[in-house]
Structure 1
Amino acid sequence: MSASAFITITRPHNAVVAGLTALIGYLIATGTLTPPSLLLAVVVALTTAGGNVINDVFDVEIDLINRPKRPIPAGEISLAGAKAYTAALFSGGLLVATLTTTLCLAIALINSVILIAYAVRLKRTPLLGNVAVAYLTASVFLFGGAFAGVEGLVQNLSLAAITFLATIAREVLKDAEDVDGDAAGGARTLPMIAGVRRTGAFAFACACSAVLVSLLPFGDWWGPFYLAGIAVVDIVILFGASRGLSCTTPGCVRDSRATSILRAGMFAALAVFAVAAVI
């Protein structure tokens, strides 16, 4: 077994970014960062890494065809070794979470269970898989805020809700892009059941809901700067989602770049919240 493969299989860039996002969640909730808050990044990075590894464990047959260079199909890590590694990563994340707060530990435990359920079954379940991804993405902000107690978690509810709704919009549009490949692989996704056009309409409705949530006067960060910044973000999110409204084919959704625009809008929203929290 290759030592470098144990790093590659965790998708380290993805795990590190998720960990840093938890710190931003704490920053938004409190307006500052403290040395103990670094524990949040460690927990999220380990848990995300565990989720990435277990995904590869359950996708090994697909990866043998589509991604033969991934560590497991390439023979760099055995299936048994990957399963043990998964357990070690999740256990490590939960162990570090015990050094945070009870609320953080509860979120870490719930998310670990959902990551496992996603790899085992939810990924292949229409819409529920999208909802699981959206929750996991949004919950990183709740986790960061929870380190400051219930009050901190509440401060981050708006950002979590915006992220949840915008992520669902992006995820179903990504599924619309991949209809042909998913059909060949035997998957069942929302666009395959409801059609690309209806999926685009659903994504736009989610984006509109995210915009409405963003305008609610909910946290200490709400004020003139926030409203000015989030107005620009909302335009980007609505523009991105609207690009998929008229599409009836996967190729049209890909060409619209709707998912890329939505992703940019979500990153912009994070920046607006972070700056508003510290000024």
Structure 2
Amino acid sequence: MKLLQLIRFKNLLLIALVQLLIKYALFPSLSMNINGNELFVSTSLTHFEFLLLMLSTLCIAAGGYIINDIYDIEADAINKPDKQIIGKAITEEKGYNFYMAFTVVGVVLGFYLSNLVGESRFFGIFVIIAALLYIYATFLQRMLLVGNIVISMLVGLSLIIVGIFELLPAITLENSFLQTSMFEVLFDYAVFAFIITLIREIVKDIQDVDGDYKAQLKTLPIVIGKNRAAKTAFGLTILAILLLVYYLVSFLYMQQIVVIYFLITVIAPLIYIAIKLFTAEHKKEFQTISNLLKLVMLSGMLSMVVYLVIK
């Protein structure tokens, strides 16, 4: 049970769910009529190969959570003493062993998958992800905003990697426009995931400011203060709202059900979060905002099902 908590199994389930939604809801939802023929998005992975992609991603992510907790022992002792696992329920040495096991398994699965589908060059993606997670834990998280941006990019990459393996190898002259269009839609989802994650990372830094200060981290609230950091998160939330409204007006205005879904489950909660960020002062308030942002991420990704239903 402690190991499941250590690897943030709930977060891993969310990653798995999003990747499943991409393959089995988003990709089948887009088709195009060309010269009287209806073309559907072509994918290249079998169910087994897709399972390998998911397992590789999840194992590398689990390793990233573990190595981050190992290097956050001092800060976590202050920020969340009741939830600290490394150094209490699990020794630091065992933590390293678990980190190595998950990371090696994830990278090996990525190597096997890349060669299995005849795209050996894709293996580098798994190595880069694993390396960035280690560098983040040991170095980047101590740099102002750099660590937050890297983690947010990796969350977005967990979506993009599905498109890389599924869409790119299946491109032909006949379907290139459709495949590219789907990749652009997937990229838009990745941008959404990036922005929401970046906001949440800043909010979490505000929550953890006391422990991070003792650990000599240079997080945004430590450098510019909690109030200004909250206003920065507020500004990013407003940006997310404006981008979503622009996207709905420009591309989805004909799909009324999709527009209503986004207005109710994504934009309305983001407006509430923006208001709370502008007024929040206490740690519990920021914890609530962090939880709401996770729900917004989930509801945003679940919109892929809506596309499939209304098709």
Pairwise same-fold verdict (TM > 0.5): yes
CA–CA distance in structure 1, aligned partners of residues 89 and 208 of structure 2: 28
1:224 aligned residue: 256
Scaled by the length of structure 2, the TM-score of the pair is 0.74
* Other structure's SS at 1:243 match: helix
- Cross-structure match for 1:59: 72
Matches within 5 A, 1:27-176: 27-31=24-28, 35-36=47-48, 37-62=50-75, 67=81, 72-74=86-88, 76-77=90-91, 79=93, 81-98=94-111, 99-100=113-114, 102=119, 105-150=123-168, 151=179, 153-176=183-206
Cα shift readout 1:76-96 (whole Å, capped 9, x = no counterpart): 4452x5434423322221222
8 A Cα contact 2:21 2:302, kept in partner: no
> Structure 2: which 5+ runs fail to align?
30-42, 169-178
Please state if 1:178 is matched with 2:208: yes
| Offset at residue 140 of structure 1 (A) | 1.4
Number of matched pairs: 273
What is the CA–CA distance in structure 1 between the aligned matches of 2:69 and 2:199, rounded to whole Å? 25
- Which of 247, 266, 270 is matched with 2:297 structurally? 266
Query: For residue 163 of structure 1, what is the amino acid of its counterpart?
Result: A
1:20 equivalent in structure 2: 17
Q: Is the 8 A contact 1:145 1:153 kept in 2?
A: yes
Q: CA deviation at 1:253?
A: 4.3
Structure-1 separation of matches of 2:212 and 2:259: 40
Q: 1:104 & 1:20 partners in 2: Cα distance? A: 22
Conservation of the 8 A alpha-carbon contact between 1:54 and 1:119: yes
In 2 relative to 1, CA 112–245 (structure 1 residues): closer, same or farther, beyond 3 Å? same
> 14-23 or 268-277, which moves further after superposition?
14-23
**Would the alpha carbon gap of residues 189 and 207 (structure 1) be closer, same or farther in structure 2, given more than 3 Å must change?**
same
| Matching residue of 1:254 | 286
Partner amino acid for 2:20? L
Q: CA deviation at 1:270?
A: 0.9
Q: Alpha-carbon deviation of 1:29?
A: 4.3
Higher deviation after alignment, 222-231 or 136-145: 222-231
Alignment RMSD: 3.3
Q: Which amino acid aligns with 2:23?
A: Y
In the aligned structure 1, how far is the partner of 2:234 from the partner of 2:84? Answer: 35
Q: In structure 2, what is the Cα distance between the partners aligned to 1:13 and 1:186? A: 29
Q: Which has more radius of gyration?
A: 2
Q: Does residue 271 of structure 2 align to residue 234 of structure 1?
A: no
- Paired with 1:49 and 1:64, the residues of 2 have a C-alpha distance of 21
* More moved, 118-127 vs 257-266: 257-266
Distance 1:64 1:205, change over 3 A: closer
> Aligned equivalents of 1:146 and 1:197: distance in 2?
40
* Farther off after superposition, 96-105 or 168-177: 96-105
Letter in 2 for 1:226: V
CA distance in 2, matches of 1:121, 1:156: 30
Segments of 5+ residues of structure 1 without an aligned counterpart are none
The one-letter code of the counterpart of 1:123 is Q
Summarize the Cα distance change of 1:228–1:62 in structure 2 as closer, same or farther, 3 Å threshold.
closer
Identity of aligned residues (%): 23
Deviations 1:140-161 (A, max 9, x none): 1112222222445433111111
SS at match of 2:188: helix
TM-superposed CA distance for 1:269, in Å, is 0.7
Does structure 2 conserve the Cα–Cα contact (< 8 Å) formed by 1:104 and 1:143?
no
Single out whichever of 139-148 and 174-183 deviates more from structure 2. Answer: 174-183
2:174 aligns to what? Answer: none
Q: Match of 2:263, as an amino acid?
A: A
Partners in 2 of 1:44 and 1:68 — Cα distance?
29
Q: Which has the higher contact order (CA 8 A, sep 6+)?
A: 2
Contact 1:29 1:277 in 2 (8 A): yes
**Partners of 2:5 and 2:198 in 1: CA distance:** 27
Residue equivalent to 2:222 = 192
